[in-house]
Amino acid sequence: MMNARFSGCKCYIDQWGVLTTGADVLGEAIAMDMIEITLGQIEFVSLAMLDLVEILRTERRPVTPQEIDTALAVPSLQ
């Protein structure tokens, strides 16, 4: 559900339970400011995912669409 809401990055849990977040970088000569923006998005999505995974772990239930909205509702994305 999180991956469907944020197209810039995608998160995965690997076979060892490690959260992995990545983004495609298109083009060979990408500008440095674009790299910084992409890395910032990866950091943001990773932190949001960790909050949602904590709900899964502690409450042992799926996250709700509202909880995803809340995790993504920060001023820098508005």
Per-residue pLDDT, averaged over 41-62, amounts to 87
Which residue, among 29, 24, 68, has the nearest Cα to 45 in the 3D structure? 68
Q: What is the DSSP string of the chain?
A: -HHHH-SS-EEEE-TTS-EEEE----SSS--HHHHHHHHHHHHHHHHHHHHHHHHHHHH-SPPPHHHHHHHH--GGG-
Range of the domain at 31: 2-77
Higher pLDDT, 75 or 58: 58
User: pLDDT, tens digit, for every residue of 1-49?
Assistant: 777 777 777 888 788 878 787 777 666 667 888 888 888 888 888 888 8
Contact 66, 60 (CB under 8 A): no
Number of compact structural domains in the chain:
1
pTM of the predicted protein model: 0.63
